[in-house]
Amino acid sequence: MTEVVRRLPFTTAVVVVMLVVGVATGALWSAAADRPWYPEVAFGVPSLAEGRWWTPVTGSFLAVVPAAYVPMAGTFALFVGAAEWVRGTRYAAVVAVAGQLGAVLLSAALLAVLRWTGWDWAERTAGTLDVGFSAGSLWVAALLSASAPPPWRSRVRLGLALYVVGSFAFVGTLSDWEHLVAGVAGLVVARSPRDRVPRREAVPVAVAVPVLVVAVGVGLSVFLPSAGPLGDTSRPATLAIAIPLVLLAAPLLAFAGRRPVS
């Protein structure tokens, strides 16, 4: 454990700060979103429009509900910790902070524009707030995916693309929008070499991915319906658009435009 802390000082420090802030504010055992101070620390279009410029920083160390601390701190420890272990502390710190702030600010800027197009989802989402460091963690994961050894490179990139596109299409909260912005930017910037995928792996993936996407889409529409960017996800017509969109967009995002191996 001492060796891990020595090798990962940035990752360790940020996770500790997340937990300390959670204890100090009570957000570790009750929903931060229900607290009266939440609008003062959470980020989003309303906070930035009202001059609360500090919120992209303060909101990064909180989770909306206590259960969200597990995936938030866990993905940060996994992805940023891996980057720090492989690339060093300076790289991990600069990339994680820049990715988090960039994703939060770019997401807000795009929503501020899209809400004037008449898109109901954009107008609703532009009025909401969010907290958490998950966008920065996904940005780091996307960048790191390009240097992963095959066949894990293709698996990680496809998994990330399916997650960010699928969560946006099937759920579509502000955090899902921030994840999409961070994931798309990271996967596009971190162009990876083309891997020759063995037929024995390509065929099962080609079968499993559509089955997984359909199962997740139908499950979310039944148990967690939402007014997502494509409409009411409880309606079959919305799923008929969302499922093909995810199946088309995710592989294109993960694999299109990759550079050849030199």
Q: What is the mean pLDDT of the chain?
A: 92
3 state DSSP class of 238: helix
Q: What is the pLDDT of residue 197?
A: 61
Number of H helices, E strands in the chain: 14, 2
Which whole number is the average pLDDT over 128-156? 92
Top-confidence residue, 99 or 150 = 99
pTM equals 0.93
Q: What is the pLDDT of residue 9?
A: 96
Q: What is the pLDDT of residue 201?
A: 66
Q: What is the pLDDT of residue 261?
A: 43
pLDDT at 262 over 50: no
Q: What is the pLDDT of residue 146?
A: 87
Q: What are phi and psi of 62, to 5 degrees?
A: -115, 165
Handedness of CA 18, 24, 28, 34 (dihedral sign): negative
Residue pLDDT, tens place only, 21-76:
999 999 999 999 999 999 999 999 999 999 999 999 999 999 999 999 999 999 99
Residue pLDDT, tens place only, 193-231:
665 666 666 677 777 888 899 999 999 999 989 999 999
Cite the beta strand spans of the chain per DSSP E. Answer: 227-228, 231-232
Top-confidence residue, 123 or 200 = 123
Which whole number is the average pLDDT over 153-180? 95
Which whole number is the average pLDDT over 6-28? 96
For strands 231-232 and 227-228, give the pairing: antiparallel
Percent of the chain predicted with pLDDT > 70? 92
Angle at CA of residue 70, ends 220 and 226, nearest 5°:
20
> Would you place residue 260 in the very low, low, confident or very high pLDDT band (cuts 50, 70, 90)?
very low
C-alpha R_g of the chain: 19
